[in-house]
Chain A
Amino acid sequence: DTGVSQDPRHKITKRGQNVTFRCDPISEHNRLYWYRQTLGQGPEFLTYFQNEAQLEKSRLLSDRFSAERPKGSFSTLEIQRTEQGDSAMYLCASSLGGAVYEQYFGPGTRLTVT
């Protein structure tokens, strides 16, 4: 499978714990995006990378959230001190160059904070 992959697919954690998610984009894609989607809503942009550089972060991304893409390949999204409001589907997408309108999504990581 040469699409975008995410791991884990599901994560249940207790409030206050830290969690980390991984995304592997399509191999030749240099842009990588993170989104959050809650029930009944469309995905909302969180942050994106061009190669290893994080170019923009949404104001939705509080200080408890951090993302990295150390070698311009896979990316990780970490949430520290999780809160119940962090429960959502976290989606990763990738695109090639300037074709921002042509983003391909992974299956998502569903986070439940109890």
Chain B
Amino acid sequence: QKEVEQDPGPLSVPEGAIVSLNCTYSNSAFQYFMWYRQYSRKGPELLMYTYSSGNKEDGRFTAQVDKSSKYISLFIRDSQPSDSATYLCASLNRDDKIIFGKGTRLHILP
């Protein structure tokens, strides 16, 4: 079992819809969780990080962590075509290494 699992998609949604991106992780000791956005042929861009369980909001983006189910979510409100990218979830392991999921490809349809 990979430490961070993510459905690769692609996920296609119409412009303006709410997008829900999800990951699971295997190690209950993980405390920090991150979401990165990566456009084609570019480096990953840190969107937000959260510590332990709970929600964190930044503009149209909300990150949610449920440690009881080892579930990580990213919600994007009022999705725009410019949100089309690959979204990588990640966690920090006990050795302070970032473990990434494979990424979910998101397409926002105009």
Residues of chain A whose beta carbon lies under 8 Å from any beta carbon of chain B: 4, 6, 40-45, 56, 91, 93, 100-108, 110
* Given known A-B contacts A42-B88, A42-B90, A103 and B98 have beta carbons under 8 A apart: yes
The answer to whether A45 touches B45, judged by C-beta atoms less than 8 angstroms apart, is no
B34 and A101: CB pair below 8 A? yes
B60 close to chain A: CB less than 8 A: no
Q: Which residue of A lies closest to B34 (CB)?
A: A101
Measured CA separation A55–B35 after assembly (Å): 25
Q: Would you give the shortest CB distance from B27 to chain A, in whole angstroms?
A: 15
B14 at the interface (CB under 8 A from A): no
CB neighbours (8 Å) of A102 from chain B are 46, 49
B92 proximal to A (CB < 8 A): yes
The verdict on A108 contacting B42 (CB below 8 Å), with A40-B8, A100-B92, A101-B34 known, is yes
Q: Which residues of B contact A (CB under 8 A)?
A: 4, 6, 8, 32, 34, 36, 41-46, 49, 51, 88, 90, 92, 95-98, 100-103
A41 lies within 8 A of B43 (CB): no
Q: Distance (Å) between the CB of B35 and the closest chain A CB?
A: 11
**CB closest chain-A residue, reference B95:** A56
Expressed in whole angstroms, the Cα–Cα distance for A45 and B46 within the complex equals: 16
Q: Are B92 and A101 in contact (CB under 8 A)?
A: yes
Interface pair B45/A105, CB less than 8 Å apart = yes
Residues of chain A within 8 A (CB-CB) of B88 are 42-43
With CB as the reference atom, state the residue of chain A lying closest to B42.
A107
* Contact A105 B102, beta carbon cutoff 8 Å: no
Measured in the bound complex, the distance between the Cα atoms of B46 and A110 in whole Å is 20
Q: How far is the CA of A108 from the CA of B43 in the complex (A)?
A: 6
Shortest A78–chain B CB gap in Å is 20
Inter-chain contacts of B98 with A (CB < 8 A): 43, 45, 100-101, 103
Partner of B103, one of A42, A100, A103, A106: A42
